[in-house]
Structure 1
Amino acid sequence: MKELAGDGVPVTVTCRVLKLARQPYYRWLDRPVTDAEFEQASRANALFDAHREDPEFGYRFLADEARSVGSGMSDRTAWRICRDNRWWSVFGKKRGRTKKAGPPVHDDLVRRDFTTDGPNRLWLTDITEHGTSEGKLYLCAIKDVFSKRIVGYSIDARMKSRLAVAALDNAVARRDNVAGCILHSDRGSQGGFNRSSQHLVIMEVLDGSSTASSRSRDSSG
């Protein structure tokens, strides 16, 4: 209709031929983007920005990130937008009733035996989420099995890989003689931590300083 009007065909004639009312057309011409469409686009932009920064996050975490920057929406709405744009976690995979879990990436060094005869030989780690009046906080703590004490931790408002790395660095900096120490955690279900904290870490001492020399994902589940 707009093109026809540009070619000189009166809007009244076009509406009469197409059996359309003129008022809706003029309203659209005055405001081609509705409030609902603008809000939908703003939500999609916020989700896309979060997905681009953290491609390992699923739609729930993307929704949390979007809400944190003022783009309010429900998890269901976030899922629908992510589905329509195919913004899935890079760790997402299809699941089926007959599909079995794949083989472990590396050997299980702990084998469910959570005992040790000395300090700094076996550490356990996990991540917990805590709600506060200012939003969510994530705590990654490392516990020495022998002393049953927390030897390292980190807190962050974002559950990213740096959360686990910071906790491990904190533990290594506070403890002496960590050569051969095993850091144990389950495989985890949070995307970014399948490649960071949810693994075994063998510690060695090189030139008198503690470093993480090799990492392998735990197969204990």
Structure 2
Amino acid sequence: MNHKRVAHLMQTIGLVGLRLRRKHRTTTADPAAAKAADLIGRDFTAAAVNTRYVGDITYLPLTGGKFLYLATVIDLASRRLTGWAISDHLRAELVTDALAAAERCRGSLTGAVLHTDHGAQDTSRAFADACRQAGVIQSMSAVGSSADNALAESFKATCKRETLQGRRAWADEREARLDLFRRLHHYNTRRRDSSLGQHSPITYETAFATTATNLAPAAYPVSKIPGQGPCDRP
């Protein structure tokens, strides 16, 4: 079909295409940093909750060319966002804060695998120390291979698309934080996932998943402006 015909039909029914913008780079590898083996191997499943996780960072565009950054930790069994943190910097504290939120949510992460890319934050000594203290086993994808962390990549793309809804950026930091807090809470408690039998992550964990014995009761993050979230109440 000719592209002009497609354009005419879209105009007739009021359909507007969403043009993907050039990506803002958040993953910068440190050649001298220590690397961990890939323990996931593109198998984004888990037999039980609190055993295998993926982590990643994405940018949140603000008006005026500024950015916030969102770090996430997702359980591969239930797709639950167990830990997240938002900041205006890309220092290692961003990912250690997200990991700490996940640990508060689960009560313990001992023995769990956390898979990330080779970003400078994830290969930092501070993050390695935080993983070691939490009893987490690090796993890393190959350099430059987004497919090796596809579930985390898919999550962050969908999250921004559904939150921005065609806008280019958030007006300011407060709007971005509040929008993300609402969206991430909705993701955990209401948004249905086809891989979970059309259940939300928390519904799946509550009703269907074999839950690890060290899960702690979920709690909202305590802050004046939502910026970090260990969990959401079921």
In which range does the TM-score fall when normalised by the shorter chain? Answer: 0.3 to 0.5
Greater strand percent: which structure?
1
**Which has the bigger relative contact order, CA under 8 A and spacing at least 6?**
2
Select the structure of larger CA radius of gyration: 1
Relative to the length of structure 2, the TM-score reads: 0.41
TM-score (norm 1): 0.43
